[in-house]
């Protein structure tokens, strides 16, 4: 692969270049889907680090989430003059931009040309922009008869030892064969040594795709074909697609700080990957759940902590793991090691789970099989939040489950010493005694218990976590049970107001907003919100009082509010 050449020579544009033929028109390129609940919580014992965690989470909520996630079509396609190189696919000597493989190719192009005289990112953006314009009026090549009996099906794998990459990027590609009555051979090509191939790779293929027994072969790249059938994940050509309905997709962005539509900035590409679920991934989930339907797995636990089999995984044991599990055991949690379970047991374990807890690792791939009622609780660090968290969003959104991450401290790193998130090796987490208590308070609250809250800040952390996890009624109950701690506390009263708003109790929301303003009278935003809430409650006297305070304390804001909201003049 020559990644130093111009992008139009390095990458294949399926609207303009020969080499890709779809078997049918995609039902759609993308569509919005129901989201899972994805949230993060700061759980560091270092206040300064916790502030940085919460700042990152706030930015992510505001600027990196789409209003709803989307699913992108993954379809069968025939490639011509094909080469499998490393974990990428070339057709007619150009790299095919399909799914995760295509995204890695773009990243590799940037890294290869870091020292070049040109800006590789600018060159890629220009390539996508010019190609998108040139593609207007063109259609993808489609031929239902492109598959002949002699054509093999071949896909690429980043490697055959990482569970996350294999299941989420490779195994799911086999689902594009569903409904094709394909009778040929299946090849999975990978770049690593055959000695590194793990048993789970063979086991999951044989168990979840039994109809292909004896026809699936693993071969190390490089490998060439004249023609081959493969899975073409259309998210890879998002920035080339002239039929995308980009305006509709842009409306799903909460802000334009990161999202740039079809302008291929690095940040916008990363955001797209976080919020997209491949249709093949959804199909893999559905296939796995069908296979356990009617089977008895009543011996499996509903609440469990997932540990590691260090013979098959990288050793990143979390500090504080034993103390945490000692507490969890008191509330009915069992200890589970995924690697020791049959593939269908792993699927059933997650499908029937109430709560899964573990520290960051590839085991969270099994979140794909969780039910929408399942809580999947991860313990990570700011480093995993910045570099790995978004990788698991598609799995949570495919399942529709509740994926809650507690971002704690770094094991072996002193307070004030920060690793470089994108350059240093991934560090294990350390769960302090206080953070373990924070997590346990959250877990037992899900079970309907009312943990004792010694300080207002402890109450705020717990209630806010429950609120963000869409457990609004539980958050409200915790706040109401700790009325004394709320007195004079602005953040707690505002959280109470948020709970009441979410539960559509405007009169109680107004009372909480009043208490919040009395706790901190420097915030004009509280008065504005009181005006809107009082209007909904038909409380004109409260509107007049809030307007008077706004005029007295924040005259500029008062003038702007009256100018932009004519209805207030009628109340006055």
DSSP letters along 341-363, please?
A: S-HHHHHHHHHT-SEEEEESSGG
CA-closest candidate to residue 344, choices 207, 151, 228, 517 = 207
DSSP state of 137: T
pLDDT confidence of residue 317 = 83
How far apart are the C-alpha atoms of 370 and 349, rounded to whole Å? 8
- Dmax over Cα atoms in the chain, in whole Å? 82
The predicted model gives 462-483 an average pLDDT of: 97
Q: Are 493 and 464 in contact (CB under 8 A)?
A: no
pLDDT confidence of residue 422 = 80
Residue 102 has, within 13 A of its CA and on its CB side, a CA count of: 23
pLDDT confidence of residue 20 = 98
CA dihedral 98, 101, 102, 107 (to 10 degrees): 170
How far apart are the C-alpha atoms of 523 and 284, rounded to whole Å? 50
Phi and psi at 241, nearest 5°, equal -80, 115
CA-closest candidate to residue 460, choices 484, 489, 498 = 489
* 362-378 tens-digit pLDDT: 999 999 999 999 999 99
CA dihedral 81, 84, 88, 93 (to 10 degrees): -30
Q: Are 80 and 18 in contact (CB under 8 A)?
A: yes
DSSP state of 298: T
How far apart are the C-alpha atoms of 132 and 145, rounded to whole Å? 28
Q: Specify the higher pLDDT residue, 314 or 47.
A: 47
Q: Specify the higher pLDDT residue, 419 or 51.
A: 51
- Supply the DSSP string of 213-281, one letter for each residue: TT-EEEEESPEEEEEEEEEEEGGGGGGG-TTS-HHHHHTTBS-SSS--TTS--HHHHHHHHHHEEEHHH
- Supply the DSSP string of 531-547, one letter for each residue: HHHHHHTT-HHHHHHHH
* 257-283 tens-digit pLDDT: 999 999 999 999 999 999 999 999 999
pLDDT confidence of residue 313 = 44
Alpha-carbon distances of 483 from 57, 248, 280, 479, 518, rounded to whole Å: 28, 45, 49, 6, 16
Q: List Cβ neighbours of 79 (8 Å cut-off, separation of 6 or more).
A: 19, 20, 21, 89, 91, 96, 225, 227, 228, 230
Q: List Cβ neighbours of 318 (8 Å cut-off, separation of 6 or more).
A: 359, 379, 411, 428, 429, 430, 431
How far apart are the C-alpha atoms of 132 and 238, rounded to whole Å? 10
Domains, in order of start, for the chain:
7-32+69-247+277-284 (no CATH), 37-61+300-434 (3.40.50), 490-571 (1.25.40)
CA 486-490-494 angle, to 5 degrees, is: 90
Q: List Cβ neighbours of 398 (8 Å cut-off, separation of 6 or more).
A: 36, 277, 281, 282, 285, 368
The predicted model gives 471-498 an average pLDDT of: 97
Q: Which residues pair with 11 in a beta bridge?
A: 95
Q: Which residues pair with 227 in a beta bridge?
A: 80
Q: Which two tokens stand for residue 60?
A: 């992510």
Q: Three-state SS for 510?
A: helix
How far apart are the C-alpha atoms of 567 and 572, rounded to whole Å? 9
pLDDT confidence of residue 171 = 98
How far apart are the C-alpha atoms of 125 and 120, rounded to whole Å? 9
pLDDT confidence of residue 310 = 58
pLDDT confidence of residue 311 = 41
Q: How high does pLDDT run on average in the chain?
A: 95
Q: Predicted confidence band at 568 (pLDDT cuts at 50, 70, 90)?
A: confident
Q: Are 86 and 223 in contact (CB under 8 A)?
A: no
Q: List Cβ neighbours of 475 (8 Å cut-off, separation of 6 or more).
A: 463, 464, 466, 467, 495, 499
* 236-252 tens-digit pLDDT: 999 999 999 999 999 99
Q: Are 486 and 456 in contact (CB under 8 A)?
A: yes
Residue 312 has pLDDT above 50, yes or no: no
pLDDT confidence of residue 434 = 95
* 193-211 tens-digit pLDDT: 999 999 999 999 999 999 9
Cis status of the peptide bond prior to 222, with omega within 30 of 0: yes
List the single range of 24-28, 224-228, 229-233 with lowest mean pLDDT: 24-28
């Amino acid at each position: 692969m020559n990644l130093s050449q111009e992008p139009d020579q390095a990458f294949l544009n399926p609207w303009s270049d020969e080499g890709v033929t779809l078997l049918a028109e995609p039902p759609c390129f993308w569509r919005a889907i129901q989201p899972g609940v994805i949230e993060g919580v700061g759980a560091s014992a270092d206040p300064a680090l916790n502030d940085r965690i919460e700042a990152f989470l706030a930015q992510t909520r505001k600027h990196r989430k789409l209003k709803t996630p989307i699913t992108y079509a993954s379809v069968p396609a025939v490639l011509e003059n094909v080469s499998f190189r490393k974990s990428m696919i070339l057709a007619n000597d150009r790299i095919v931009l399909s799914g995760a493989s295509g995204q890695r190719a773009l990243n590799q192009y940037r890294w290869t040309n870091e020292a070049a005289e040109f800006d590789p990112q600018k060159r890629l953006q220009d390539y996508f922009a010019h190609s998108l314009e040139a593609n207007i009026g063109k259609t993808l090549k489609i031929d239902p008869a492109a598959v002949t009996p002699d054509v093999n099906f071949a896909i690429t794998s980043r490697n055959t030892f990482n569970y996350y990459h294999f299941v989420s990027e490779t195994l799911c590609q086999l689902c594009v064969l569903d409904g094709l009555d394909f009778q040929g051979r299946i090849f999975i090509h990978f770049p690593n040594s055959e000695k590194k191939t793990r048993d789970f790779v063979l086991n999951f293929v044989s168990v979840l795709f039994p109809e292909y027994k004896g026809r699936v072969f693993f071969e190390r790249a490089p490998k060439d074909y004249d023609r081959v059938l493969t899975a073409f994940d259309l998210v890879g050509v998002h920035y080339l697609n002239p039929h995308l309905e980009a305006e509709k997709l842009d409306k799903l962005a909460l802000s334009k700080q990161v999202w740039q539509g079809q302008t291929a900035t690095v940040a916008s590409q990363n955001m797209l990957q976080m919020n997209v679920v491949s249709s093949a991934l959804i199909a893999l989930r559905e296939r796995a759940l069908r296979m356990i339907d009617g089977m008895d797995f009543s011996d499996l636990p509903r609440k469990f902590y997932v540990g590691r089999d260090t013979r098959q995984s990288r050793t990143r044991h979390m500090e504080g793991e034993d103390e945490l599990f000692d507490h969890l055991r008191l509330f009915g949690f069992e200890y589970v090691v995924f690697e020791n379970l049959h593939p269908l047991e792993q699927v059933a374990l997650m499908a029937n789970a109430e709560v899964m807890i573990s520290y960051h690792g590839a085991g969270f791939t099994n979140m794909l099989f969780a039910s929408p009622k399942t809580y999947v609780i991860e313990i990570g660090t700011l480093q995993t939040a910045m570099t790995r968290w978004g990788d698991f969003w598609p799995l949570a959104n495919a399942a529709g489950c509740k994926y809650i991450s507690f971002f704690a401290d770094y094991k072996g790193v002193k307070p004030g010493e920060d690793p470089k998130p994108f350059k240093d090796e991934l560090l294990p987490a350390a769960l302090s005694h206080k953070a373990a208590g924070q997590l346990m308070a959250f877990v037992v609250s899900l079970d309907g218990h009312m943990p004792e809250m010694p300080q207002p800040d402890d109450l705020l952390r717990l209630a806010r976590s429950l609120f963000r996890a869409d457990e609004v009624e539980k958050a409200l109950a915790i706040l109401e049970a700790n009325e004394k701690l709320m007195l004079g506390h602005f953040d707690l009263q505002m959280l109470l107001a948020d709970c009441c708003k979410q539960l559509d109790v405007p009169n109680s929301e107004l009372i909480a907003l009043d208490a919040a303003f009395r706790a901190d009278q420097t915030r004009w935003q509280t008065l504005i919100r009181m005006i809107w809430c009082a209007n909904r409650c038909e409380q004109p006297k409260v509107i007049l009082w809030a307007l008077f305070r706004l005029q007295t304390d924040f005259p500029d804001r008062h003038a702007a509010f009256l100018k932009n909201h004519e209805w207030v003049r009628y109340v006055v």
